[in-house]
Amino acid sequence: MDKSEWIWMNGEFVAWDDAKVHVLSHGLHYGSGVFEGIRAYETERGTAIFRHREHLERLAKSAQLYYLDLPYSIEEIRDATHELIRRNGLQSCYIRPLAFRGYGEMGLYAQSAPVEVMVAVWPWGAYLGDEGKRHGVRAKVSSWRRISPNSLIPHAKASGQYLNSILAKTESVRAGYDDAILLDEGGAVSEGSGENIFVVRDGLIATPGHTSSILDGVSRRSVIQIAEDLGYRVSERDIARAELYLAEEVFLCGTAAELVPVREIDDHPLGEPGEVTRVIQARFEDALHGRAQEYLEWLDVVEQPSKVTS
Ligand SMILES: Cc1ncc(COP(=O)(O)O)c(C=O)c1O
C-alpha cells in the first residue's frame, strides 16, 4: 500500500502508523462493519470526488441494515474526507470510509460496543490493471454463489459479506484468471467479485437487476445513465450463464476497477473490447475526470487551501 500521512479516526486526524484498534474489536471477530470504496480524480476544477454523496448515503444505508448507529452524519464524514485529502496533499486517491463495531463487548448482540468510524485515503491505481482496461480481462465463473438475500444482504456493503467475494476472487486468480463472475443462488448471473456486470447481445445492453443479489453499484447506475444518454437501451433483467459466452461484449464496472472490458470467460474468447464497451468506457472516463459537462454535477470538488502539516 502507498501510505499517506494522515487517517481520520473517530473525529481526529491521526498519523497513518498510529491508526490502530484493539484486537478485541467486535468487527475484527465477526465482520460487523460497513464500508465504502470511493475515488477522487484530478480534474480541471481541482480534486473531485466522484458521486461522493451517493457513496456516503449507501454507507449510511448499509449501517442501518445492520443496526449500526453511525455516530457521525454524512455531512460530517464528507467534511472530514475533504480535510483529509487536503492534509495528505493528494490530487487523486482512493477513499475508504469504514464504520465498525469496536471494542467493549463480545457476543453477537453487542449493543454496548461502540461504533467506530474511520476514513483513509491513498493513491491506488486501476484495480484490474491498465492493461485490463485497454484490452480486457479474463474471467471465470466462480464455483461460489453470490451471497443469497435469504442469508445476508447483498444490497449492503458490509465487511463480513466480503468473505464471499474473497473466496471467488481467490479461486479465479489461483486458476490463472483475473477475476470471478458470480452466479446468484438460482443460477442467474449476478456480478463480478467487486464489480457489476453488463452484457451486450444483438446490440442490446443488459445488466442483472436488483433481485439477482447485486450490490447497487454507483458505477452501475452511472453507466446505465451514460449508456441511455448515448442512445442505447439498457435492460435490467435475468442473465443466463450461457449468455456470457454468447454475448458480443461483456464489461465490468466498479469504483476500484472503473470500467473494464472482459475478453474471455471460462476460456470462451470474446475478443478485444467491442464498440459499445469502448464508447461507454470513454464517456465514463470523461465523467470520472470531469471532462463531461453534463455529468459535472456528479463531482464533489475538494476546495484546496495549501497543505496543513500539523
Ligand atoms: C460486490 C461488489 N459489487 C459491485 C461493486 C461496484 O460498486 P460501485 O460501483 O459502487 O463501486 C462493488 C464495489 O464496491 C462490489 O464490492
DSSP 127: T
| Torsion angle of the four alpha carbons 263, 188, 163, 117, in this order, in degrees rounded to the nearest 10 | 90
Question: Is 157 marked active-site?
Answer: yes
Q: Cell triple for residue 82?
A: 475533504
| Tens of pLDDT, residues 153-178 | 999 999 999 999 999 999 999 999 99
Mean pLDDT of 42-65: 98
Q: How far is the CA of 193 from the centre of ligand 1 (A)?
A: 8
Mean pLDDT of 130-151: 97
Phi, psi (deg, nearest 5) at residue 249: -145, 150
User: 277 CB less than 6 Å from ligand 1?
Assistant: no
Q: Ligand 1, residues 197, 219, 298: which to mutate, most atoms within 8 A of Cβ?
A: 219
SS3 for 263? strand
- What's the mean pLDDT when you consider all of the chain? 97
pLDDT at 309 over 60: no
SS3 for 85? helix
Pairing of strands 234-236, 204-207: parallel
Cα–Cα dist 191/29, whole Å? 27
User: 290 CB less than 6 Å from ligand 1?
Assistant: no
Phi, psi (deg, nearest 5) at residue 129: 85, 150
User: 37 CB less than 6 Å from ligand 1?
Assistant: yes
Mean pLDDT of 259-287: 98
Asked whether the beta carbons of 55 and 46 are under 8 A apart, the reply is: no
pLDDT over 70, % of the chain: 98
Q: How far is the CA of 215 from the centre of ligand 1 (A)?
A: 6
Query: Considering only 51-65, 118-132, 207-221, 243-257, which range has the smallest mean pLDDT?
Result: 118-132
State residue 310's pLDDT score.
46
pLDDT at 48 over 90: yes
Mean pLDDT of 127-131: 90
Cα–Cα dist 176/264, whole Å? 12
User: 255 CB less than 6 Å from ligand 1?
Assistant: yes
Mean pLDDT of 278-287: 98
State residue 304's pLDDT score.
80
pTM (whole model) above 0.75: yes
Q: Cell triple for residue 130?
A: 491498465
pLDDT at 305 over 90: no
Q: How far is the CA of 309 from the centre of ligand 1 (A)?
A: 33
State residue 189's pLDDT score.
99
pLDDT at 84 over 50: yes
| Tens of pLDDT, residues 194-204 | 999 999 999 99
DSSP string, 144-195: SPPPPTTTS-TTS-BGGGHHHHHHHHHHHHHTT-SEEEEE-TTSSEEEESSS
